[in-house]
Structure formats: structure tokens, C-alpha cells
Structure 1
Amino acid sequence: MIRMLLRVLGDEHAPPVRRTVALMTVTAVAEGLSCALLVPVLRALFGGTPGDVWPWLAAFGAAVAVCAVLRYRGDLSGFRVGTTLLRGAYHRLGEHLARLPVGWYRAGRVGEVSALAGQGVLRAVSVIAHLLAPFISATVTPLVVVAVVLAFDWRLGLAALAAAPVVVAVQAWTARATAADDARRAELDHEATARVVEYLQAQPVLRAGGRTGERFRLLDDALRELQRASRRSALSALPGVVGSVLVVQAVFTALLVLGAHLALGGHAGAPEVLAVLVLAARCADPLLALSELAGRLRGARAELVRLDAVLRAEPLPEPPDPVRPRRHDLEFDSVTFRHGDRVVLDDVSLTVPEGRRLAVVGPSGAGKSTLLHLLARFHDVTAGAVRVGGVDVRAIDSGVLMSRIAVVFQDVYLFDGTIEDNVRLGRPDADGAEVRAAASAAGLDEVVARLPGGWAANVGEGGALLSGGERQRVSIARALLKDAPVVLLDEVTSALDPVNEAAVHRGVERLVAGRTVVVVAHRLRTVRHADHIAFLDGGRVVEQGSHDELLRRGGRYADFWHLSAAEVGG
């Protein structure tokens, strides 16, 4: 368990964890040894000179005080290490998720990662703070007490020691019996979380289609299955709990019978037998709690296994000797990209000279946005190469690559904060004047002027308090503030009304001036002013050239152009 925790979180956390485990173990041993003082206390109390009990009582009180100090320090160390590990787990998970290719985030990952980042990490790491100390106490202290009993009377000690393999066998059997049910419950937990997220995100569509009841039934079914799985998991653990209780009670009864037999036969003194029974009763509570603790530890370990699986997902490799490009021209060299069994791009070759604009057009599903993703290295190509300034993007440090590229997508996500906070993401160290200048160039200043809070206005989660056009202006202002030499635009005006489209278009023109640009677009004005146009269909370039050349050819692009013009005119 500890080994897996350290493997997941990194060896830098090993020293404090090992110190904490050692301190908790010393505390458990001290608690067991302090119980040994009960034997001379009871012997003196029930012997011929009861007054001799006071020194032993003083020693017992001192031992209890020492155990209390050790327990306090152990628990405090556990909480501190648990807090450090929790922070480390979230940092490592966040950094790893940021390095994974976008293709890793398939359907269902949202619920899985949400459950893992929510309760999963907390449950897994809290083992140090909350479960480890009582578990060590429940296992080590009874063993120390058994050793003490062996020292006073080997017959009673062997009788107590016989319980150890039975308790271990019961716990092992319970772990095997509950493993499948626990795994199924965790799987359904993630599925139910994904259903909740889906249900909340799909509210506008569901209400417009009058399908809220149907979708609610799907969510209800997921929650009902989770309830059934939780019940099965609890029932499968019940025999282990009952078995542990029976073993503890049976051993205590055996010790009672054997002690009475030895005392009545004159083979052991009554005070010693009474002390052994008191020690046995002292061990009963931690042993009875062992089943519950073991179940919670198994749950924490299962979360660690899932966290480990996410952290083992292969990120895009960083180059061992990164190359820094000196130019900003772009090249797709015989690029092929597959997503699963589907060929998204097939032997695509395109070049964009520095400071020029390439427009990529074509039907939906042709692979246009994938070209932008490969340039930004959200994925790696299956074959061929994507180059920036003559350097393969796989040979460029990811931080350096992203510092050279500004991306504006059709679907803009804004973080829950102020407008200024979201614009400043483009360059966090920018001063206020630079932020205002970028916002003005993007036409965002007129949006800010009509908002009640101005620059301090909160945009809501995902930018929900702004319109689509307003969110797009924030995205363009962010890209302008970044001032990157390469700009990637993906359908930035396709879903906007004419007023917002005109404002966003003005911001885009300021953004792309003097930069190397690749634009995926349907709007005519964006396509017309491109230096080079590529028509993509089925993952292949079927036509390319300037706007006028492609119109003269009367091919696929000309059909696209005339159809778009007819839609605008209509």
C-alpha cells in the first residue's frame, strides 16, 4: 500500500512517509508494552501487600502519558504528511493531464477524471492521515500484547497467538470476496458521475427537444445500479466482519476457559490470569475494528490503482535535445494521422511561408481542425512530419512551441473569473496598459463598457454570462496579448450574428497582421483574403491554389464558393 502510494506520488515524499510510519509503529509498540504493566499492578493489588501497587501504578501512568505524547505526534505527523501528499497528488495529476494528448480525452473520461480528482484522490491519500495510524495500532499492538502474554505464561500466550493466522485468513478471504464487487461499484460510480455531468451539460438541448424525462431515466438507472452495487459490496464484506467478531470472541472464550483451568489447578496465579484476560479484552476492540479499517484501506488502494493507471497514460514525449526554430514558416510533409481505426488525414502536404495565410476549407469531418491540432501538437502524426520554421514540432520543447502559437477556436472556454483575468491568460506578466490595448484591438472594450462590473465583471463558469460573440472577443484579445508569430483560427465566426461577426472579424484582422496564419473557415471574407487555399475532403487535399485560380478551375472549391455565396444572398 505504502509502496504504491510512493510510486504514484514520487520518491520525494518517501522520507516523511517512512518517518511517519515508523513513529506510528513505535507508538503502537509502546501502547502494547504499557499494557504489560497491568500484570504487576494486578499481582500487587490482589497479593498479600496491596500497598506495593503504587509504584507500579505510577509507572503505568507514566507509560500512558508517554503513549499519549507519541500518539499525538504520530497523528499530527500523519495529518501533515497527508496534507502534503494531497497537494502533491493534485499537482502531479494536473500536470500529467496537461501533458496528455487531446485524443486521450475520449467520451467517458470527464466522469472518470471528475470522480478521481474529486473523492478519488482524497480517499486514496487520506489513508496516511486517517487510516494508517489505527490500522498499525490494530495490528501491531495486539502482537505486542501476545508477546507480553507469552513472557508471563507460555500456554496462555500460545492460545492467544493461535488467533493471528485465523484473523489473517479471514481478512484475506474477505479481500478476495469483495474485490469484484468493489471494482464494479467504482466503475458504476464513475459512470453515474459521467451521467450527471452529461445531464447538466445537455439541459438546453433536452429541454428544447422535450426529452428531459427520458434523459433523467438514464441518470436514474445509473444511480440505481450504483445503489445495487454498493449494497452488494457491503453484503460481500459482511461475512468477513462477522467472522472477525466470532474469531475474537472464540479466542477470548478459550483464554477464559484455559485461564480458569490453570488457576483452579494451581498452575497459574489468579492475578496473572486476570491480567491476561484484561490484556485480551484490550486487544478485542482494535481487532474488531480491523475488518472495517481493512475494507477502507482496500477502497483507498483501489483509488490508488485508478490514479496510477491515469498517471501511467503515456504523454507526448519531450525531445531530449530540443531545437528552437528561428523562422515561423509552416509545413505539413506527407502527414498521415489515424484516430483508432479511422484515417483522419492521408498523405497531406502543405506549406505556409512566414507571414502568409493558408485557408483550409472543406466539408465537415474532412480533417480540417485536425491540421491545427497537429500544428499545436495536441496529437503526434502517425506518419510524415509537421514543421515550424523547418523544425519538426516533435523536436521542439512543448513550452517553446506553444509560446510561438496563438489559437482561437470556435468554442471558447472562459474560466470563472473576471474578463481581465481571462484576457491576461494570454500573457500573465502583461501590465494593465497592454491588457487594455489588446482588449481594444479585439473590440472587447465596448463589451466591458456595457457590463455592470466593467473589467471586474465575472464571466461565469465557461463564460456562461457572456454571449458567443463576446466570448470570442475575449479569446481574440487573449491571442493579441500573447503576440505569438503563428496564429491558428478554427471557425471563429461561423456561429455569430452579423454584428458580432463584423466586430470579431475586425479583431481577427488585427490579430493576423504580419503573422503566419492557418485558418479553418466557412465565411467567405476570411477565405477570399488568404494567400493560399487548400480544399480538404476525406482527409486528403483535393485542390489547392489561390482564390481566383480555384474559381477558374470550376472544381470542388468553386462549388463550395458558389453554394456559400448563394446561402449568404438567400
Structure 2
Amino acid sequence: MIRQLFHVAGPALRRRLAVQLAVLLGYSVLQGVAFVLVVPVLRRLLAGDTDGVWPWAGALAGVALATAVAYYAQQMLAFQVALAASHRLYHRIGDHVSALPLGWFSGEQVGRLGQLASRGVPQVRSLLAHLLQPLCTAVVTPLTVVVAMAFLDWRLALATALGAPLMYLTYRWAVSTVARADEAVDTAAAEANERVVEFVRAQSVLRSTGSGERGRALLESALREQDAAGRRQSAAMAPGRTAFIAVVHLAVAAVVVVGAVLGLGGTVGVAELVALLVLVVRFSEPVSGMAELGGSLRSARNALARIDAVLAARPLPEPARPGPPPADASLELRDVRFAYEPGARPVLDGVSLRLPDRTTTAVVGPSGSGKTTLIRVLARFWDVDEGAVLLGGTDVRDIPADALMDHFSLVFQDVYLFDASIRENVRLGRPGATDAEVEEAARLARVDEIVARLPQGWDTPVGEGGTALSGGERQRVSLARALLKDAPVMLLDEATSSLDPANEAAIQQTLDALSGRRTLVVVAHRLQTVVGADRIVVLEEGRVAETGTHAELLARGGRYAEFWRERSRAQGWRLTPEPSVPVEAAP
């Protein structure tokens, strides 16, 4: 666990952690020496040697004072290192996950990441501040006592040392019996967290479909499983904890028996025997504390393992030798194949496309055809398994991540706004932008219409996730943010699919105004976006089925023409009342 703690802490904290452990080790040894000095003091007191007791009493007082100073020093160091480690870990995890491919962020991983932030890092902080000291004391102090006893009476020292392997094996058995229960608790907690978030976010769907009871049942089931896992963990802990404490007391009893035999045999004096047995009892106190620490140490060890697993996840590699800067904003896919899991069916299977600079490309196709994956592969959210993705003639893998992201603005269907004002959310696109530039980007995205009708105007807080705004309003703010960034390539993934006609029209007008000024790639279902594109790409089962302009593809009569007919019929649907049927008058 100590080795893993050094690894997780990182280079910046290793020296401070080493100093803390050195001071803690010194304190534990001093405490053991203080216990040992009780023996000569008692031996002389019981023998009536009052003059000879003073030097030993003075030594004991000096060591006790040094122990108190060492305790204070290690405790202050522990708190300082714990706070620094907590701060550093949050930054390390945040910096690392920001470089991980988007595919890493599954529902389960996000739930575990939330667990790390809310419980894992605090558990590591608690380990450094509160658990290392009793852990070190429970191991080093008894070891110091046993070594010192060997100089006082090797037979009692041997009897004491023989119990150590049995105590260690019992402790390891106790830990192993709870390991599976600990993993079940972590899994159940992550699942419960995910269900809570899902239940809150899905309220509109649950209420509109009358599925509130079902949603609540799923949440309650996850919470019950979390409670049951906790109960199973408590039940699994009891036998091991009881066995360990029993072994410690049996070891002490065995040493007492050996001491009594030696005393009755006359090989050890009564005064010396009493003093040595007092030392044996003091030996057992820190060891017994291990039983109390067991659960907390396991939790801290598991937290370290989970943090280590997150930090071990491989980010997208940075180029050792960056390639030439992109010549323009053109995009190209060369025989691209990509699957989310090794051995799984490719989501993109041999896709080859060239999207010229400053053109608009609409990507259409049935659900599951790879449209969203295509968009995200272009921005290098993942690296392709085969083939290459090029920006301006340069492989995106040869462009440093920060430089690559400078070339892209992205607008997704699911928009997240931060709990800040409208102005601050738009400015995230380019933090150094002036108010005039922010307002111009907002005007292009028609955000100024939203601002005009709000009492606080630009300073209106949008709430966590943008909940104070409607879906269409959030989408406009997101588009304004992308426009303010002023990147040469804009990628839009179904950005208008769930909007009302007014918001859709506003965003469509903005996209029309960008035509010819930027390279636009739009995953679209709406006919207006499709018709106005310079080129349409039809995906089906991860392959390019057709490409061309709207007129060319209609004339070809293939998959796109079928798509167009279906959309046209759906767009023309109307709800009309049935004609009334006259009712004959009763005779």
C-alpha cells in the first residue's frame, strides 16, 4: 500500500511523503523504546533500589519527551501532506481524464469517477492524516519491543516473536474474506449514484409517459442493493476481526504462561518477570488496534487502487515529432476503420471521404450507421483502428491535442452550460474575447433575442447544466460559444433535431450565414439542412452508401432518395378531425 501511495501521490509529493514517513518511523521507535525503559525502572523499584532507579527514570522521561515532540511533528506533517495530496490528486485526476478518449466515459466509469471525487480522494486524505500513524505504530512499536526484549530475556522475546506470523496470517485471512464484499459495495454505490442522476435527469420523460413508478422502482432497487452490499460487508468483517483479536490475546497469554514457567523454575527473578510481563501487555495494545483499523485501511487501499486505475488509463498519445501545420480546413478520411471495443464489429468500416475547405457536408443515415462516431473521429476523440484522418493534409495524430482543438468548434445535441451567466457561458468559447465580440457571436446565434426578454439580460444565471433555459435556448448559447471560438472547422451533431421550429429556424439561418466561410460537417435529420449542403454523405452500417448533392442523389434513386421520401411524407403529416356523421332524428 505504501508503494502504491507513493505512485499515486506523484513526483511533486514524494519527498514530503518520505519526510512524513521518516518522522513517523522515528516516533514509533521512540514509543517502543519508552515501553522498554519501563522494565529497568520497575526492576529496580521492585528490588528496592531507589538510588539506581533515577538514571533509568531520567532516561524514560527524556525519551517520553522526545516521543511527545515526535508525535506533534508527525501529526502536523500528516495534516499538511494530507491537504497537499488531496489538492494534488484532484488536479492529477482532472488533468488526466481531460486527456482520455471520449470512449472511456461510459456510464459505469462516470459513476466510479464520481465516487473517487466524493469518497476516494477523501479516503486517501484520511489515510495520510489519521491512519498511517496507528498503522506504523502497530507494526514498528511492537517490533522495537521484541528486539529490545531479546537483550533482556531471549526466551520471552522468542515466545513473543513466535506469535507474530500467526497474527499476520490471521490478519491477511480477515482482509481476504472482506475483499469481495468491498468490491461489491463499490459497484453497488456507483450503480446507485448513476441511478440517482438518471432519475433526476429523466423526470420530464418519466412524468410525460406516466413511468414515474418504474423509474422510482429502478432507483429503489439500486439503493436496496447498496444497502444489502453494506450489510454483507459488515457480516464478512465480523469473523476476521474477532479471529484477529483472539489470536493477539492468545499470543499474549502464551507469553504469560512461558514467563510463569520461567519464574516458577527460578530462572527469572520475580521483579524482572513482572517488569517483562508489563512490557508484553504494552506490546499487545498497538497490535490490537489493527483490528479497529482494518475496515478503514481496506477502504483507503481500494481508493488508492481505483485512483491508480484511472491514472493508468491511456490517454491519446501526443506526437513525438509534430507534423506540419494544416494547410487549410479541409478534412479527409482514408479507409478508416474503428470499433469501440477490440474484436467488436466496426462502427466505421472502410470509410473514405474528402471534405474540401469551406464547404458544408451533411451526414445522414439510419440510427446506428456511424454518424456521431464519424463526427467524433474527425475531432480525434478516439484514434482510428486503421486508416487515417487528415486535417489540411496532416494526420490528426501528428498534431498536438491543444493545437488540434484550436481548429475545431463543436456543437452537440446534448448541451451542458455551467452555473454562470449567459455572457460567461458564451465567453468560454474564447476567454480573452471582448464584450463586443461575445455579443456579436451571440447575435449571429440569435442569443440576443433571448437576452432582450430576460430581466437581468446578459448577466442572467443559467443554472447548473443550463436548467434555467429551454432546450432551444441552451442550444443557441452553445452555438454562440462555438462561433466565438472562430475555429475554421465546425462540427454539429444533430444540433437541431429536438428544437422547436422557431429555434431551429434561428440556428439554420446562422449555419446558412457560415456557408463558404468555414468547413461545416453537420449530422442532420431536418430537410432544410440537408438540401442546402454542398455535399451529402449517406452512411449505412458504417460504410459510405452514397455521396453527392441533393439533386444528384435524388436523380440516382438510391438510399438517399428513399430517405427523402420518408422525411417528406413525415413532414407533411397533419392531424385532422374526422368528418361528422349526421345522426338521423328519432321518429
Instruction: Establish whether TM, by shorter chain, passes 0.5.
Output: yes
Match of 1:166 in 2: 166
Deviation at 1:472, TM superposition (A): 1.0
Deviation at 1:258, TM superposition (A): 4.2
Match of 1:487 in 2: 490
Identity over aligned residues, as a percent?
A: 48
From 359, 375, 393, the equivalent of 1:356 is 359
Structure 1 pair 47/474, CA: closer, same or farther in 2 (3 Å)?
same
* C-alpha distance in structure 1 between counterparts of 2:368 and 2:253, whole Å: 74
Deviation at 1:497, TM superposition (A): 1.4
1:386 aligned counterpart, secondary structure: strand
AA paired with 2:305?
A: V
Deviation at 1:315, TM superposition (A): 2.3
2:414 aligned counterpart, secondary structure: coil
2:347 aligned counterpart, secondary structure: strand
Structure 1 pair 569/214, CA: closer, same or farther in 2 (3 Å)?
closer
Q: Normalised by the size of structure 2, how large is the TM-score?
A: 0.90
Match of 2:25 in 1: 25
* C-alpha distance in structure 1 between counterparts of 2:161 and 2:13, whole Å: 36
Match of 1:398 in 2: 401
* C-alpha distance in structure 1 between counterparts of 2:540 and 2:453, whole Å: 43
Q: Is the contact between residue 9 and residue 92 of structure 1 (CA under 8 Å) also seen in structure 2?
A: no
Match of 2:129 in 1: 129
Are 1:15 and 2:18 counterparts? Answer: no
Structure 1 pair 49/436, CA: closer, same or farther in 2 (3 Å)?
same
- Superposition pairs of residues 163-562 of structure 1, within 5 angstroms: 163-263=163-263, 266-323=266-323, 324-340=325-341, 341-512=344-515, 514-562=517-565
Structure 1 pair 331/61, CA: closer, same or farther in 2 (3 Å)?
same
Q: Is the contact between residue 111 and residue 195 of structure 1 (CA under 8 Å) also seen in structure 2?
A: no
Q: Is the contact between residue 107 and residue 194 of structure 2 (CA under 8 Å) also seen in structure 1?
A: no
1:321 aligned counterpart, secondary structure: coil
Deviation at 1:164, TM superposition (A): 1.5
Structure 1 pair 60/432, CA: closer, same or farther in 2 (3 Å)?
farther
Structure 1 pair 482/169, CA: closer, same or farther in 2 (3 Å)?
same
2:525 aligned counterpart, secondary structure: coil
Structure 1 pair 350/254, CA: closer, same or farther in 2 (3 Å)?
closer
Deviates more, 1:490-499 or 1:432-441: 432-441
- Structure 2 unmatched runs, 5+: 574-587
- Superposition pairs of residues 25-104 of structure 1, within 5 angstroms: 25-50=25-50, 53-104=53-104
Q: Give the paired residue count.
A: 570
Deviation at 1:91, TM superposition (A): 2.0
Deviation at 1:514, TM superposition (A): 0.8
Q: Is the contact between residue 156 and residue 255 of structure 1 (CA under 8 Å) also seen in structure 2?
A: yes
Structure 1 pair 357/273, CA: closer, same or farther in 2 (3 Å)?
same
* C-alpha distance in structure 2 between counterparts of 1:514 and 1:273, whole Å: 94
Q: Is the contact between residue 359 and residue 516 of structure 2 (CA under 8 Å) also seen in structure 1?
A: no
AA paired with 2:338?
A: F
AA paired with 1:546?
A: T
* C-alpha distance in structure 2 between counterparts of 1:270 and 1:450, whole Å: 94
Deviation at 1:111, TM superposition (A): 1.9
Q: Is the contact between residue 362 and residue 535 of structure 1 (CA under 8 Å) also seen in structure 2?
A: yes
* C-alpha distance in structure 1 between counterparts of 2:264 and 2:250, whole Å: 21
Deviation at 1:406, TM superposition (A): 0.5
1:241-298 CA-partner distances (Å, limit 9, x unpaired): 2223223323333444444554555543444333223322322321111123244323
For the aligned residue pairs, the C-alpha RMSD in angstroms reads: 2.4
Q: Is the contact between residue 418 and residue 455 of structure 1 (CA under 8 Å) also seen in structure 2?
A: yes
Q: Normalised by the size of structure 1, how large is the TM-score?
A: 0.93
1:181-212 CA-partner distances (Å, limit 9, x unpaired): 32333333322332323323322222233333
* C-alpha distance in structure 1 between counterparts of 2:27 and 2:440, whole Å: 63
- Structure 1 unmatched runs, 5+: none
Match of 2:579 in 1: none
1:66-112 CA-partner distances (Å, limit 9, x unpaired): 11111111122222222222222222222222222222223422322
* C-alpha distance in structure 1 between counterparts of 2:239 and 2:310, whole Å: 33
